[in-house]
Amino acid sequence: MTGMDPETSISPADIERAILLLRGLRVMLDEDLAEMYGVETKSLIRAVTRNLSRFPPDFMFRLTYGERSDLRYQFGTSRSWGGRRHLPYAFTEQGVAMLSSVLRSPRAVAVNIEIMRAFVRLRRLLLENVDLAKKLTALERKYDGQFRVVFEAIRELMEPAPTPTPEKRIGFGGDAS
């Protein structure tokens, strides 16, 4: 995506694929963000380090060696981290929003808007799943008494059948009968 004009849009699916779960937070890596913004990773990091006071630990953090190797294992060789000398940075949603004040190109603004929309969509999906789980639990409680016999029959079917023990050994053996 590097070198694209500012009007070029990023697909929501590409953005959502770049959002990872690390340390219990949804984050995006510096390399992915730089690609979306159409800048080199080192340029993005340089802009961030010049404005480090805008990026507290809950906005941005550096991956540990273990986290980096876990991600390499998870994604295989499709990532191009082989040539990097430094561990990647991870940006939380707030960190990505702060990047718009550091990177002021028209493309950066347009990409930031799309990234913020992707984070909102993910939050909405998570809330919908929580609501669905609550409704399912309520239905199970409501109908548990009425369908107790069905649930017990299902449990019996799920139990392994007893294995019959052979009464007489077949084949050649040490004891002669």
The answer to whether 97 and 127 have CB atoms below 8 angstroms apart is: no
What pTM was computed for the model? 0.61
CA dist list (Å): 37 to 29, 103, 130, 131, 176:
12, 9, 33, 35, 84
Tens of pLDDT, residue by residue over 72-117, are: 766 654 445 455 778 999 999 899 988 888 887 888 878 888 888 8
- Which one is the CATH code of 12-125: 1.10.40, 1.10.10, 3.30.43, 3.10.260? 3.10.260
The answer to whether 100 and 112 have CB atoms below 8 angstroms apart is: yes
